[in-house]
Amino acid sequence: MIKDVARLAGVSHQTVSRVLNDHPSVRDETRERVLVAVKQLNYRPNALARGLAGRRSRVIGVVSFDTILHGPAATLLGIERAARRAGYGISIVALERLDRSGVIEAVNRLAEQSVAGVVIIAPLLTAAAAAGSLPTGVPAVVVESDLAGDLPTISVDQVAGARLAVEHLLELGHETVWHLSGPKDWLEARDRIDGWRATLEAAGRRVPPVLAGDWSPKSGYEAGRQLAERGEVTAVFCANDQQALGMLRAFSERGVRVPEDVSVVGFDDIPEAAYLSPPLTTVRQDFDEVGRRCLAALLELLGVDRPPGVARHPRVPPSLVVRASSGPPRAA
């Protein structure tokens, strides 16, 4: 194929290759002629052959988990966008279970395809650990994990996010804030617990026991029913919006008014959050930015220049979105 172009342009195939790869020493007039031929034949170089010969493909592998959840899906999209802009394609492997061998196997599958590098979305502790000890020499970046050994890591600053939520509630006048956590083997869940606890302690408040959820609306619903029984609770910080949604449902069933009786704050800012009853105060994560920084980190690892304008810091700051589900306590 490249030979057809070469023939049409009256040059050698190597010169065509040079033009395609922006090699400096090609005369302008020659380059022009080649480009005309390329356009005329509607030529597109074969990525496989390129990868084989050049030993670097323009494809990045992504190991993802549960892309039906909002966070992972949004992160994946962010990565894809950033990659496309940088001229890379994306190959994905979704994991069914997020354990050690699964992650390693997935990376191997991608390595087989000679991807230039991989991004591992590994929100579980076990996965992060696996990522930290990859056998292969594939350049890798890890998302939402900070115990991935030497690998560069990008994540939203969950601790700061939790602090935003808790401080907001304390400023409204609540005595303390309860927490419905995510599953404890998720790093994000653990960080949000830490942030919540640290903020309460820093303010000298009582730290109630952690309620354990599993991200699902169902677990929020069940926790909500329990909280509705106790009278004392005035503010709850849920580890994600779906749990908050389930909790709102439980409160509404029990006649607990939000925010008059109890304030609820979520995490994620899913598209639905603004339209719940009542609209949900929550912490927004910028997944697009996460994707961008992942790619930047990976490109750096590959020895390519980082795209301009992308901050380097591995911790993306979240922001608080105040809506009607949080307000001052009745007593205050």
Residues in contact with its own copies by CB under 8 A are: 44-49, 51-52, 57, 59, 67-68, 70, 73-74, 76-77, 80-81, 84, 89-94, 96, 108-114, 216-218, 220-221, 242, 245-246, 248-249, 252-253, 271-272, 274-277, 279
Q: What is the DSSP letter of 50?
A: H
Which residue's CB is nearer to DNA, number 50 or number 205?
A: 50
Between 157 and 268, name the residue whose CB sits nearer to its own copies.
268
The dihedral built from the CA positions of residue 269, 271, 274 and 275, taken in this order, carries a sign that is negative
- Please count the residues of this chain forming the interface with DNA, following the rule CB under 7 A: 29
CB 120 within 8 A of CB 185: no
Least distance to DNA from the beta carbon of 301, Å? 18
- Residue nearer to its own copies on the CB measure, 13 or 81: 81
Quick one: what does residue 272 bind among DNA, its own copies, none, with the CB cut-off 5 to 8 Å set by partner type?
Answer: its own copies
Q: Which does 18 bind (CB under 5 to 8 A by kind): DNA, its own copies, none?
A: DNA
In angstroms, give the least distance from the CB of 186 to DNA.
Answer: 37
Q: Which does 71 bind (CB under 5 to 8 A by kind): DNA, its own copies, none?
A: none
Residue 2 binding DNA, by CB under 7 A: yes
304 binds, among its own copies, DNA, none (CB under 5 to 8 A by kind): none
- In the list its own copies, DNA, none, the entry touching 226 (Cβ below 5 to 8 angstroms by class) is none
> Binding pattern to DNA, positions 192-211, x when CB under 7 A?
--------------------
Round to whole Å and give the CA distance between 78 and 310: 13
CA dist 204 and 16 (Å) reads: 70
For residue 179, give the H/E element and its range: strand 178-181
Q: How far apart are CA 77 and CA 95, in angstroms?
A: 17
76-79 long-range contacts, Cβ below 8 Å, gap at least 24? 76/121, 76/291, 77/287, 77/288, 77/291, 78/287, 78/288, 78/289, 78/290, 78/291, 78/292, 78/294, 79/119, 79/291, 79/294, 79/295
What does the DSSP assignment read for 103-115?
A: HHHHHHHHHHTT-
Strands (E), 13-161: 59-65, 89-95, 117-121, 140-143, 153-156
Site string for DNA, 39-78 (x = CB under 7 A): ----x-xx--xx-xxxx-----------------------
Residue 180 is given by DSSP the state E
User: Residue 126 touches which of DNA, its own copies, none (CB < 5 to 8 A by kind)?
Assistant: none
Longest Cα separation, the chain: 86
Contact 78, 316 (CB under 8 A): no
Least separation in angstroms between CB 22 and DNA:
10
Tell me which residues touch DNA (CB under 7 A): 1-3, 10-18, 20-21, 24-27, 29-30, 43, 45-46, 49-50, 52-55
